[in-house]
């Protein structure tokens, strides 16, 4: 199966589905191939992945208002 290359715009559009593993096998593969060749999308995905991990860790800890405020201001800067 040959995978059609995707551009950065498509990669960013699929970013969150990729992280949530909601893409079908073909799109997932295309995404991975793009990330192999594109440093800027790769670092974007890594950034979002770390953010997501932090969010799920926080959710388990039942965040205090102070922590939620810090997340809000972090999100505003994105």
Binding residues for Zn ion, rule: CB under 5 A, are: 8, 11, 38, 41
> Which CB sits closer to Zn ion, 26 or 36?
36
What does each C-alpha distance from 28 to 8, 46, 63, 66, 68 come to in angstroms? 14, 16, 32, 37, 32
CB 52 within 8 A of CB 19: yes
Please say which residue, 16 or 55, places its beta carbon nearer to Zn ion.
16
Minimum CB–partner distance for residue 78 and Zn ion (Å) = 18
In the bound complex, what is the minimum distance in angstroms from residue 7's beta carbon to Zn ion? 7
CB contact at 8 A, 6 and 30: yes
The residue (of 66 and 78) whose beta carbon lies closer to Zn ion is: 78
């Amino acid at each position: 199966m040959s995978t059609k290359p995707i551009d950065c715009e498509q990669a960013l559009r699929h970013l969150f589905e990729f992280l949530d593993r909601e893409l079908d096998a073909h799109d997932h593969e295309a995404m991975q191939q793009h990330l192999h060749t594109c440093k800027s999308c790769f670092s974007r995905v890594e950034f979002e992945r770390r953010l997501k991990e932090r969010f799920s860790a926080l959710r388990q800890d039942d965040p205090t208002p102070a922590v939620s405020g810090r997340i809000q201001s972090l999100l505003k800067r994105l």
